[in-house]
Every structure is written in C-alpha cells, then in structure tokens.
Amino acid sequence: MPPPIESSEAASTPNTRLSPAPPSGLSAMPPHPSPSAAAGAASRTVYSDRFIPSRSRSNLALFDLATPAVPSPYCERLSAALFWPATPDRVASSAAACSMSSSSPSSSASPVGVGTPGSGNIFRFKAEVAPRRAKRALFAGGDEEDPLFPGMFRATGARPRKIPRTPYKILDAPTMQDDFYRNLLDWSSQNVLAVGLGNIIYLWDASRDKVTKLCDLGEDDDACSVGWAQLGTHLAVGTNQGKVQLYAIVVARIRTFCNTTTSSSVDNVSLIWDVTRSKRIRTMESHRMRVGALAWSSSLLSSGSRDKSILHHDIRAQEDYVSKLTAHKSEVCGLKWSYDDRQLASSGNDKRLFVWNPHSIKPVLKNTEHKAAIKAIAWSPHLHGLLASGGGTSDGCIRFWNTAKNIHLSCVDTGSQVCNLTWSKNMNEIVSTHGDSQNQIIVWRYPTMSKVATLTGHTNRVLHLAISPDGQSIATCAGDETLQFWNVFPPLKSQRCVSLSVMGETSFVRSYIR
C-alpha cells in the first residue's frame, strides 16, 4: 500500500489518525465528521487509502453519437451498428434517461433498467442487438437486403473491377449459321467446348488447346443444338431432321512423370497425355421437326422442337422418351433445368415462358409479359427460384422472376435483341449477349442491374454464349463466323489455392527435369 500523503498541517500533528476507508460497494462519498471533530476538520485534510468513484452524477448520454446538422451516411451506419437505430421513441427515452441521471440520486423516479432501449447504456447485453441489416450495411459496403428474397443483399457499394475489353483468344467458326433459334455452343464440366458448324460437331479441349472432330451428320442434315450432361461424359446433338443423337465422351488425362533413379534416357522423359474418345451410343427420332433446345437433369434429357413439343428422354430406358409436354403454341427455342433439378423453364416463339415440375404434364407457372420470342433463359446458381429471361427484337427486355412465389421482380430494357443469358458462378452477376446493330456483350450486377462492362468484339449479333467450368471465362459465337473467349470474372478463393498448388507442381516438375 502506498504511504498516505498529508498536508503541511497534518504533518505537524503526529497523533493524527487516518479515517478508515469505507467498505467496497458502499457510499462513494467521503465520511462525514462527527460534531466534536468539526472544529479540527477545518485545520486538517484527511485522505483515504483508495478512491471509489460515484456514478450517480455520470452523464451517460455522452456515449451517444451526436447527430450533426447533416449527418453523413457512414455516421448513421456506425451509430446504428454500435448502438441502436435512431428512432423518435429512442431519442425521447434517451433524453428522459439523461435528465433522470442528472437529477438527485434521491429522486423518487424509478431508475431505467440497464439494457433497455432508453437507458443510454452502450452495453446492451441481450436486450438490444443491432439488426442484421445495419451490420451488413456497415461492413459490406452498403448492401441492402432484398425483401422478396431474404438473405440476398443488394450490392450498392461494391468496388468496380477492371475487365479486359478485348478477347484473349479468337477461333474461326466457318459455316456458323446466323439463326436466332439455334443453340450451337456449350461448355462441359470437363473443360471441353462443343460447337456445331453446319453438319459437323467439333470439340475444343481448353486444357490442351486442341480441336477434334466429333461427327459428321451428313449432307442432308445439320446441327441445331448441342448440350453437355452435368458430368461432362455425354453430349446430346439435336438435328434439323428432328433427331437427338447421344455421344459418350471419355476424356482421360494421363500424366507420366520423370524417373531419375534409372540411367535410361527413356525413363527421364515426362509426358502429359490427354486422350479424348467418343462414341455414338444412341439416336432418338421422336420429334417431327428440328430440335433447337436441349437441357440435362442428371440422367434425364429434355429436348424442345419446332413441332411445339418438349420430350423427356431417360437414357437408361429403352423407350425414346418417357413423357411429352405440349403447352407451347410455337417453336420451343429455350430450355433450362434449375441447379437443383426441381424446375424446368421453357420458352418459345409464342412469347410465353413456362415453368414445369419434373413429373408434371402441365406448367405450374405461366408468364406472358414478353412481347417477342424468348430464347434467353437462365437460372441463378446463388438463389433458389430466381429465373432470368430475355426477349427478342420487339421486346429487348431482361425480366427476373421469383418462381417460388410466382412474382415478377424487375425488368430492364436493354434496347436490343437479347440472344443469351448466363449467370456467373463466382459472383452475383449476369451476362447478356445482344444483336440488332448493338452486337454487344454486357455484364450486369444483380439486383441493381448496373453495367459492369460492355464488350464489343463481334460484327454480327452474338447468338451463342457459354461459360467455363471454373466460372472465369465466357465463350461467344456470332454470325460473323468467329468464336471469341473473354476473361470476365475473377476466380474463387478455393480455385486460387488450387491454381497456386498446380503451378507449384508444374514448376517443380520442370525444375526436376532440368
């Protein structure tokens, strides 16, 4: 214990005793002298061995953030996150608490409980928890929660990123038909791109940058659609004669590393072989006219035709198709299964958009807001039930639907024909391709639908669109007979770690060979 500090008068009185300190938690005021010692109290100063403060006159309102004349958005979000949103009831109760705390402690008014909304105490415990929206708005750049989709936030404060305005690769696509109702481009999960050029189907392996010829449909037939299965092991081809051909694709990637334990020069060579084998396993001839749309759901293949029908083919069954859907009044030019395989979206030249259940023969949802043919449809991989659709030349709009509640969410007029739509796998953004004098590729940020980038590289309408399995690149094909590749989206963190590990392995092998 530190020695007591005394004044000069107290030091001249050797028999003076210090007053004992009050017990902890009792009165915070110094002890009152007795009447007999009142005369001696004026001639000496008494100090206790410790100080216990009194909070009876503390102004807790000082901890509240003062609201300026024109408060900034950041100050409002900070105050809402740390304390509580400034409402009229809270302001009134806080003022009452301040006046009560400044009054005499012997007042008969009942004290305000700690943790209540009007106590002015910054430590809220469990009584007041800052709402999730306020925290999200503060730490996520001002995102706002979508009322129609709980848990989905509107990115209003995201930083703009730089997207290259030129493609990183361009391939020739001769005999590419300028037909709006065909779907001749698809990218598999095995990183193999399938494209239909006239009556020939080509495969481009992005891993080794090699093009192989899959099949030739003959002079009396040509390709109208291609579609990969989810695992990338089967490719379906729709033809002009109403046939659906099924091919089994085997992509074997064999790595042979060097062996320096032997003296043979052959064993010191490291080779990487990519073997692609294909075989046509089935041909289904159930449609009477061309098949322009294909969509996979596990082992179920759906095909849409110009004969206005949609057929479900089970590749494990002997029958050509297991069910038939007949709701469209014109050619079916768009088919997409949702990512959970629970809903099928179909669109056609009849300006109608339908949503089906896996086992329904009638559509569960019908939408007729578009004013032109609908080819572009895409399901969001980030939110269940979010569907996007794009209209043709007379419409030019991108519409968003909540299929879980059958609600039309929003509409954006692009001013040109919407040929294709696809969602980003890594970000909450969507890509659209256009025709009719614009011939552009637009990257949109959802749900604000602000333009992230506008890419112009084609000289004709961009009819086909596909996204890479890693979600970073897109491939576009147009009537100008060019196939262009664009680097649009950043990789995921997990993909960055994998790419770094692969780079490390590659550099290790190269240094090992040397």
User: Mean pLDDT lowest for which of 145-154, 167-176, 381-390?
Assistant: 145-154
Count of alpha carbons within 13 Å of 479, Cβ hemisphere only? 17
More confident residue, 49 or 300: 300
Average predicted confidence (pLDDT) for the chain:
77
> Which of the listed ranges 19-33, 59-73, 145-159 does the model predict with the highest average pLDDT?
59-73
Q: Count CB neighbours of 394 within 10 A.
A: 11
Look up residue 456 and give its DSSP letter: -
Q: Determine contact, residues 287/242, Cβ cutoff 8 Å.
A: yes
* Among 172, 221, 166, 219, CA closest to 195: 172
Please give the pLDDT value at position 510. 28
Please give the pLDDT value at position 54. 62
pLDDT > 70? residue 498: no
pLDDT > 70? residue 281: yes
pLDDT > 90? residue 503: no
Examine residue 236 and state whether it is found in any structural domain, yes or no.
yes
User: Mean pLDDT lowest for which of 48-62, 311-325, 386-400, 469-483?
Assistant: 48-62
Residue identified by tokens 């074997």 is 252
User: Mean pLDDT lowest for which of 56-60, 103-107, 221-225, 381-385?
Assistant: 103-107
Between the alpha carbon of residue 421 and those of residues 336, 391, 425, 429, the distances in Å are: 11, 11, 13, 11
More confident residue, 268 or 446: 446
Examine residue 247 and state whether it is found in any structural domain, yes or no.
yes
Q: What is the pLDDT of residues 165-181, one digit of tens each?
A: 999 999 999 999 999 99
Please give the pLDDT value at position 77. 75
Q: Which domain holds residue 179?
A: 169-257+269-487
pLDDT > 50? residue 271: no
3-state secondary structure of 174: coil
Examine residue 450 and state whether it is found in any structural domain, yes or no.
yes
More confident residue, 196 or 264: 196
pLDDT > 50? residue 142: no
User: Mean pLDDT lowest for which of 202-206, 241-245, 430-434, 498-502?
Assistant: 498-502
Q: How many separate domains does the chain show? A: 1
Please give the pLDDT value at position 62. 61
pLDDT > 60? residue 134: no
Please give the pLDDT value at position 299. 87
Please give the pLDDT value at position 472. 96
CATH of the domain at 432: 2.130.10.10
pLDDT > 80? residue 350: yes
Examine residue 115 and state whether it is found in any structural domain, yes or no.
no
Confidence class for position 63, pLDDT limits 50, 70, 90:
low
Confidence class for position 161, pLDDT limits 50, 70, 90:
confident
Examine residue 32 and state whether it is found in any structural domain, yes or no.
no
Look up residue 511 and give its DSSP letter: H
**Alpha helices of 113-199 — where are they, by DSSP H?**
132-139
Confidence class for position 59, pLDDT limits 50, 70, 90:
low
pLDDT > 60? residue 259: no
pTM of the model: 0.66
Q: What is the pLDDT of residues 447-461, one digit of tens each?
A: 999 999 999 999 999
Spatial CB neighbours of 148, under 8 Å, sequence gap ≥ 6? 402, 405, 407, 409
Please give the pLDDT value at position 438. 83
Q: Are strands 200-205 and 192-197 parallel, antiparallel or unpaired?
A: antiparallel
pLDDT > 70? residue 463: yes
Please give the pLDDT value at position 107. 42
Examine residue 507 and state whether it is found in any structural domain, yes or no.
no
pLDDT > 50? residue 400: yes
Burial 46-74 (b: 16+ CB within 10 A, else e): beeeeeeeeeeeeebeeebeeeeeeeeee
More confident residue, 436 or 65: 436
Q: Determine contact, residues 195/201, Cβ cutoff 8 Å.
A: yes
**Mean pLDDT along residues 346-350:** 97
**Mean pLDDT along residues 77-105:** 59
Examine residue 215 and state whether it is found in any structural domain, yes or no.
yes
Examine residue 99 and state whether it is found in any structural domain, yes or no.
no
pLDDT > 70? residue 38: no
pLDDT > 50? residue 328: yes
Please give the pLDDT value at position 278. 87
Count of alpha carbons within 13 Å of 470, Cβ hemisphere only? 18
**Mean pLDDT along residues 357-382:** 95
